[in-house]
Chains A and B, each alone.
Chain A
């Protein structure tokens, strides 16, 4: 039954998107793919999940709830054309900081963690909002990128659950180091450009 359900998903949008890159289906595809096409976005999203899993409940679900809510605020600013300085730098910095806190296994109070994650979420949201293709359906674009962002968090949490084991804890911290390096790479790129 589950296989049939999964197979049914293959019936989805192929024909519609073959004609022109506009409308409902393309809006969703475009929104869904947007967070997945930037390594800086992916690294930061996964780091949020990793850190949440590292901190345990309730942070494990509070952070992935806070992030999309604040990200939407940033996204609205982007859509409305409100300028936000240093968006790309902020996104790169988010990977650096979140990678470092995961690597160090930092355990600040929940409100501090939520504040850090929420602050960076504004930059990510602004980029998503400002870069929305003009032809895309706004509603499905927003739904697509929120779902993709949430799924990246979930993948981070899934990986982060390895902290139950001592070897897993090392692996997750190593993941944090990798994310921080990715962030540094983007940061140097933007500073030197």
Chain B
């Protein structure tokens, strides 16, 4: 099937999904959509998480589809372990500059467009998965609702990174596409740097 068709078929539902919480957020974080979908949308509606996920997606998808295997095979289990660890109550959330710093690193690497050794890429994804997972603790609710929310969050994290990386890897052949990705990387870097300054001010 045409790549463009696939792209838009997937992009449209995602765009609609992203459009939903804006209306709901006038009253509660995400009201009335249930624990599971609340969890799925959590990473997409938390600006710093979204910034990290887009940065990681760009980083993984920038080179070729074959480069996706290692980052994702690290990201998936580490994020699951981190999310499960939040149920112990030891960590409620993490120091915000850590997450923003990860987005900053991802943005710089995308802007530079330097292929990294597999170990380095894996390490970045492991740190990111750990930070995102630990920062997604569910503080109240029954064990079932917490489990549903965490499962949804886990899927949300994976889908965001994997979708961006996978579809992006089809758009890296032309020079202008590579430039576009690098420009996006510079935007992520700039936004992260500013947010880091805000976080440090507080």
Task: Name A's B-contacting residues (CB within 8 A).
Answer: 1-2, 4-5, 8-9, 11-16, 18-19, 23-25, 61, 64-65, 68-69, 71-73, 75-76, 79-81, 125, 128-129, 132, 137-140, 142-143, 146-147, 150
Contact = CB atoms under 8 A, between A and B. Distances in A.
Contacts of B190: 68-69, 71-72, 75, 142, 146
B180 to A, nearest CB: 9
Contacts of A150: 183, 187
B47 A5 contact: no
* 9 closest residue pairs by CB, A with B: A76-B197, A138-B198, A139-B47, A142-B194, A11-B19, A72-B193, A72-B190, A68-B190, A16-B26
Contacts of B200: 80
A16 B25 contact: yes
A54 B63 CA distance: 29
A146 B191 contact: yes
Given A71-B190, A75-B193, A80-B200, 10 more contacts: A11-B20, A15-B23, A15-B26, A16-B23, A61-B182, A68-B190, A76-B193, A132-B198, A138-B195, A146-B187
B74 interface: no
Q: Is the interface of B mostly helix, strand, loop or mixed?
A: helix
B22 A76 contact: no
A76 B111 contact: no
Interface in B1-48: 5, 8-9, 11-12, 15-16, 19-20, 22-23, 25-26, 45, 47-48
A121 to B, nearest CB: 10
B136 interface: no
Contact of B22 (A15, A61, A72, A128): A15
B195 A139 contact: yes
Contacts of A64: 183, 186
A8 B199 contact: no
Given A16-B22, A140-B47, A129 B197 contact: yes
